[in-house]
Every structure is written in C-alpha cells, then in structure tokens.
Amino acid sequence: MIEKKDSLAIGEYIKNFARKHSLFVLAYGTGCGAIEIPPTMTSRYDAERFGIRGAATPRQADVLLITGYLATKTLKRVIRVYEQMQDPKYVIGFGSCTINGGMYWDSYNTINSLDKYIPVDVFINGCMPRPEAVISGFVKLQEYIQEGKADGWRKYQNNIEEYRENQKRIIKNWRMPDYNL
Ligand code: SF4
C-alpha cells in the first residue's frame, strides 16, 4: 500500500517531470549574449527537442533568461517582468556579466550581481556562452527542477524584504505595483 507521504512524493515527482520537459522561456535580451539565442532555438541546436521554447508574455513563461549585462534602468523592468510570472518560475543568468559584472564590473550604470536583485537558479558563464553552453545550462536547470532544488521563486517570497532593500537601493524612482508576492 502507498503511504500518504509517498503518494505526495510521487505526485511531486510527476509534476516536476512534466515541468522540466515543458519550459516556456522569456528571453530578455539585455546584453550582447542575446545573439546566441537564435542559433540555440533554431534547427542547428534545436533546443525544442529538450522541451524548451519561447513564451510571448511573462504570464505564460516558466523561465526568465537574462542574456547579459543589466543597466540599472533595465533592472526595474526585469523585476517587474519577474514578478508578473506565475510560480513556480525560474531564472537563468546568461554570461559573466550576470555573475560579477563581467567587463562592465566598474561601470557606473550597470549592476554586478543579478542574484542580489532577483533569485537566479542557474548561471551560464562565458563571454559570450556558445549554444552548447546554453543548452547545458538548461539541462542543469531541468535536473534541479526534477530534484526540487530550483526553488529561487520560494526564496524570493521568503526574503522579499531583503530583495526589496537591494532593489530600492539602486532604483531611485521605484513607483510600481507588487505582483504575485
Ligand atoms: S558576458 Fe560578455 S557577451 Fe555577455 S553581455 Fe557581458 S560582455 Fe556581452
């Protein structure tokens, strides 16, 4: 006989299995790395064979892909997009700029570390990462989803005050609504 806790675990396993094979991606082309997305999605590398495809709006997307450096002005839009997405949702930081600022590390108007402002589930390093690296990053995300470890969205909810403090420290004219918190 299947215990209640086992049936919950099986249910979660099946849900995660479905989630990881159906990733609708909103690619926010913030930096030069965005140029690697078309070859990743089209016939040569064919990301759709892994269940990865584009989404038209934040409300239909599972994954937010940030493709490089982020100006402080753009960060506000990215936060707004992220908060409009439905849970569970995932973020991939693409390129060295999302990790430590990359070649813009001391720029006056870009951020250095994306995960201070929104939670990042997977980083793909490189400047710029090739399509093979992008696919490998998605496969890593799929592993985390299956194992229940892609829980940045939960971390965001639980630590919203800390994220808001970081966000408002850098975005002076905040004035925008809170979505889905
Ligand atoms: S990591 Fe390199 S390729 Fe990517 S946005 Fe930064 S400078 Fe451009």
Any domain includes 96: yes
Task: Give pTM, 2 decimals.
Answer: 0.92
Domain count, the chain: 1
Site to probe by mutation for ligand 1, drawn from 35, 70, 103 as the one with most ligand atoms within 8 Å of Cβ, is 103
Q: Measured in angstroms, how far is the CA atom of residue 19 from the centroid of ligand 1? A: 29
Q: What is the pLDDT of residue 8?
A: 67
- The boundaries of the domain holding residue 120 are 4-170
Any domain includes 129: yes
Beta carbons of 33 and 95 less than 8 angstroms apart: yes
Whichever domain contains 118, its CATH number is 3.40.50.12280
Any domain includes 37: yes
Give the range among 100-104, 160-164, 173-177 with minimum mean pLDDT: 173-177
Beta carbons of 144 and 122 less than 8 angstroms apart: yes
Q: What is the pLDDT of residue 32?
A: 87
Site to probe by mutation for ligand 1, drawn from 28, 32, 40, 105 as the one with most ligand atoms within 8 Å of Cβ, is 32
Q: Is the peptide bond before 88 cis (omega within 30 degrees of 0)?
A: yes
- Neighbouring C-alpha atoms within 13 Å toward the C-beta of 108: 0
Any domain includes 114: yes
Any domain includes 175: no
Q: Measured in angstroms, how far is the CA atom of residue 34 from the centroid of ligand 1? A: 9
Dump pLDDT digits (tens) for 111-130. 999 999 999 999 999 999 99
- As given in the structure block, the two tokens for residue 130 are 């090739």
